[in-house]
Amino acid sequence: MIKINLLPLRASKKKETIRQQVSILVISVIGFLVVGLSVYGLLRTKISNIKTEIASSETELVSLKAKIGTIDNIKKLQADVKKKLDVLNQLRRGKSGPAARLAALSDSVPDKLWLTKYAESAGSVAVSGYALSEELIAYFMKSLQGSGAFRNVELVVSEQAEIGGVKAKRFDLVFQIAEQKP
Q: Which of the listed residues 108, 137, 166 is the one where a domain comes to its end?
A: 108
Number of domains in the chain: 2
Judge whether residue 9 has pLDDT over 70.
Answer: no
Q: Which domain holds residue 134?
A: 112-177
Judge whether residue 14 has pLDDT over 90.
Answer: no
19 and 84 assigned to the same domain: yes
Judge whether residue 123 has pLDDT over 70.
Answer: yes
For the ranges 25-29, 31-35, 59-63, 119-123, the lowest mean pLDDT is seen at 119-123
Judge whether residue 7 has pLDDT over 80.
Answer: no
16 and 76 assigned to the same domain: yes
**Radius of gyration, CA atoms only, the chain:** 52
CATH number at residue 123: 3.30.1660
160 and 73 assigned to the same domain: no
Mean pLDDT of the chain: 87
48 and 32 assigned to the same domain: yes
Judge whether residue 158 has pLDDT over 70.
Answer: yes
Q: Which of the listed residues 108, 129, 163 is the one where a domain comes to its end?
A: 108
Q: In this predicted model, which residue has the larger pLDDT, 4 or 76? A: 76
16 and 94 assigned to the same domain: yes
The whole-angstrom separation of Cα 161 and Cα 96 is 36
Write out the chain in H/E/C secondary structure: CCCCCCHHHHHHHHHHHHHHHHHHHHHHHHHHHHHHHHHHHHHHHHHHHHHHHHHHHHHHHHHHHHHHHHHHHHHHHHHHHHHHHHHHHHHHHHHHHHHHHHHHHHHHCCCCEEEEEEEEECCEEEEEEEECCHHHHHHHHHHHHHHCCEEEEEEEEEEEEEECCEEEEEEEEEEEECCCCC
31 and 61 assigned to the same domain: yes
| The pLDDT of residue 180 | 61
Which contacts qualify for 99-107: CB closer than 8 Å, 24 or more apart?
100/149, 100/180, 101/125, 101/149, 101/150, 101/177, 104/144, 104/147, 104/148, 104/149, 104/150, 105/144, 105/147, 105/149, 105/150, 107/143, 107/147
The whole-angstrom separation of Cα 78 and Cα 86 is 12
140 and 82 assigned to the same domain: no
Q: Which of the listed residues 108, 134, 155 is the one where a domain comes to its end?
A: 108
97 and 136 assigned to the same domain: no
| The pLDDT of residue 5 | 60
In a domain, 47, yes or no: yes
pLDDT band at residue 62 using 50, 70 and 90 as cut-offs: very high
Look up the pTM and report it.
Answer: 0.48
In a domain, 131, yes or no: yes
99 and 143 assigned to the same domain: no
